[in-house]
Amino acid sequence: MWPVLIAVWATFMLYGLVAAPVPAVNEPHYLCKSKHFWQPDWCDRDFFLASPNAHTVFYATIGGLTQFVSLTKAALIGRILATLLLAWGWTRCLSQLFFTSWAVLWSAWVFLIFSSYGNFSGEWLVGGVEGKVPCYGFLLAALGDVLRRRFILAATWAGLAISFHPVVGMWGLLAFTLSRVIERGIEAIRVQRRLMQSTGLREEQINTKANTVKETEQGPHSTLGYLLLPTVILIVFALPGLIPVYRLLTESVSPDTRRAATYIQVYYRLAHHLDPMLFSVRSYVCYALLVIVWLCSCRWDGQTIAKKRLDHIVFWSVIFALAGILIGWGPRPPIRMLLYDQRMNLLKFYPFRLADVLLPIAVAVSLVSVLERTAFKATSSRTWRTFLSHPLWILTLFFIAGLWRAHSLSETNRYSLEDRADWLDVCSWIEHHLPSDALVQTPTNGWAFKWFAGRAEYVAFKDCPQDAVGIVEWNTRLNFLQKWFENNYVDEFYSAGELKSLRQKTGLTHLLTDRLGPLELEPIYRNGTFQVYDLSSLDSAAN
């Protein structure tokens, strides 16, 4: 499978670079946090970087690259490593579902075609480097060993998945566990019925006989090997990621603060991921079609045992998503919903994200399985006509079309080409001219400021902490700035006294603006779009 693995890895790398050029949407978030994790004095005044860490395992492993190379190089090397891990997990899992080894690659193409047209709740698999990419790699590897019934290995990979991203990993573990429990229950019922039909024994006699067989044939070590040992291994490998999250969830804060933080997280900062009433109609239609295709594929002929096990796990991921829709659906504002607090607390655990990835994978596997059994066999003759009409060419063309669409929708930044050049220019100037302990407030649509400028930010919408106190403080800072800018612009002018007051209340040393102004202060740097103001120069000014 090595050639297939390399081909899948190259496919994922290519798609990621096309769809999400460096830095991708979350790479500044993860890698800047990683750099601060290893070097606490870097941007030490930054509010987000100083907040508690939720993805410590990522920061301590892949994030360690930031100590040896630049952030851009760390992102590229990190993508190589994380994507290779993802390709390994993909190959290890899907190789159990096909008769042709190269079908694993074709399923990746089909999956990426789906990805280029969007997702349900904003969950993506191939793009930049962050905690969930190696998590999904280990999760798929665990699924592959579940299909092989190698539960000790599966427990190892599942534990590592949880360590890299506890939310994704725990949803995957819950789906695996429920599917296995139901599968064993169904197997037991079927065996019991067959024994009753073939032997004529009563149910009590069959249960007694079955228990006797288990004790004599499997021996006392069966429970240890089947359940206890994998559980211990899972816990050991999962603890490094679970301990930081446990500390965040159990931090000593008032109930009002925790409630406010959950509301801000679910219905404001991450509403596009967590509030099903904000998902687009297009997302509902597309994923409803995927569900229909997947349900139909469950009844197609040629279903292997491995494919059925995959479908059981996908079934539970879909159930989680449907439960999330039911929990989140209701009148607005959300406080009008029945059991509002309980529903809000459930939504913050991302019930949609597992189905967002597993459902397209399952449909891709089903479609390629059909091609593997029909079209590819039908074109076995070696003529130029059959060669040109081979389904592989059609898949290749579709994949190229998916790359083109992904490129057309990629968001490298929030600026036009001209504004982007000015943004990179002003960030470079700040990096080389402002003191390392500067605290800067950037424009609302600022993009990867710490990545390019290497200076601390007072607050940024993208960089929201994950602890309750931090979330509330983040929201307080944003509201304060918005009200300050609005209230002090009544006369359409920001005076030196007003700016000095802003500095005293926030500790800001510099202000980076694009449209804000006019200000009673000369900029220390200006280009076609942005201006940099030194607020510390007001300290010696008269009141």
Q: What is the pLDDT of residue 339?
A: 92
- Locus of tokens 């941007």: 43
Q: Which residue has the higher pLDDT, 395 or 87?
A: 87
Q: Which residue has the higher pLDDT, 218 or 427?
A: 427
Q: Is residue 351 part of a domain?
A: yes
AA letter at 503: R
pLDDT score of 110 more than 70: yes
512 plus 423 within the same structural domain? yes
Q: Which residue has the higher pLDDT, 394 or 312?
A: 312
Contact 196, 206 (CB under 8 A): yes
Q: What is the pLDDT of residue 199?
A: 64
Contact 58, 164 (CB under 8 A): yes
Q: What is the pLDDT of residue 515?
A: 86
Q: Is residue 15 part of a domain?
A: no
489 plus 434 within the same structural domain? yes
365 plus 274 within the same structural domain? yes
pLDDT score of 449 more than 80: yes
Give the domain-ending residue among 373, 405, 437: 373
CA within 13 Å, CB half, 468: 20
Q: Is residue 501 part of a domain?
A: yes
256 plus 366 within the same structural domain? yes
Q: What is the pLDDT of residue 219?
A: 45
Task: Write out pLDDT tens, residues 385-432.
Answer: 555 556 777 788 888 988 898 888 776 555 666 788 999 999 999 999
Task: Write out pLDDT tens, residues 166-202.
Answer: 999 999 999 999 998 888 787 777 777 776 666 665 5
368 plus 429 within the same structural domain? no
Burial class, 92, CB count within 10 angstroms (exposed 0-12 / middle 13-18 / buried 19+): buried
Q: Is residue 288 part of a domain?
A: yes
Q: Is residue 395 part of a domain?
A: no
369 plus 256 within the same structural domain? yes
Residue 304: pLDDT band (50, 70, 90) is: confident
Q: What is the 3-state secondary structure (H, E, C) of 177-194?
A: HHHHHHHHHHHHHHHHHH
Task: Write out pLDDT tens, residues 465-492.
Answer: 999 999 999 999 999 999 999 999 888 8
Cα–Cα distance between 69 and 31 in angstroms, integer?
12
Q: Which of 81-85, 206-210, 225-229 has the lowest mean pLDDT?
A: 206-210
Q: Is residue 482 part of a domain?
A: yes
Q: Is residue 528 part of a domain?
A: yes
In this prediction the pTM is 0.90
Please give the full DSSP string across 287-311, using - where no structure is assigned. Answer: HHHHHHHHHHHTTSTT--HHHHHHH
436 plus 521 within the same structural domain? yes
Give the domain-ending residue among 319, 343, 373: 373
Give the count of beta carbons closer than 10 Å to the beta carbon of residue 426: 24
Q: Which two tokens stand for residue 518?
A: 């006019």
Q: Which of 118-132, 340-354, 394-408, 456-470 has the lowest mean pLDDT?
A: 394-408
- Locus of tokens 């993208």: 462
424 plus 485 within the same structural domain? yes
Q: What is the pLDDT of residue 413?
A: 53
Q: What is the pLDDT of residue 215?
A: 45
Give the domain-ending residue among 373, 392, 409: 373
Where b means 16+ CB within 10 Å and e means fewer, 68-78 reads: eeebeebbbeb
Burial class, 421, CB count within 10 angstroms (exposed 0-12 / middle 13-18 / buried 19+): middle
Q: Which residue has the higher pLDDT, 235 or 204?
A: 235
Q: Which two tokens stand for residue 505?
A: 């209340």
Task: Write out pLDDT tens, residues 482-539.
Answer: 999 999 988 889 999 999 999 999 999 999 999 888 999 999 999 989 999 999 999 8
Side-by-side strand order, sheet with 510-513: 456-457, 439-441, 510-513, 531-534, 525-526
Mean pLDDT, residues 358-387? 74
Q: Is residue 440 part of a domain?
A: yes
Q: What is the pLDDT of residue 379?
A: 52
Q: What is the pLDDT of residue 79?
A: 97
The total number of structural domains in the chain stands at 2
Q: What is the pLDDT of residue 108?
A: 95
350 plus 422 within the same structural domain? no
Mean pLDDT, residues 56-84? 96
Helix (H, G, I), strand (E, B) or coil at 350: coil
AA letter at 66: T
368 plus 424 within the same structural domain? no
Mean pLDDT, residues 238-265? 93
Average pLDDT, the chain: 88
Q: What is the pLDDT of residue 273?
A: 94
Task: Write out pLDDT tens, residues 135-178.
Answer: 999 999 999 998 888 889 999 999 999 999 999 999 999 999 99
Cα–Cα distance between 247 and 163 in angstroms, integer?
14
> What is the percentage of the chain residues whose pLDDT exceeds 70?
89
- Locus of tokens 């993860």: 30
Residue 296: domain span: 252-373
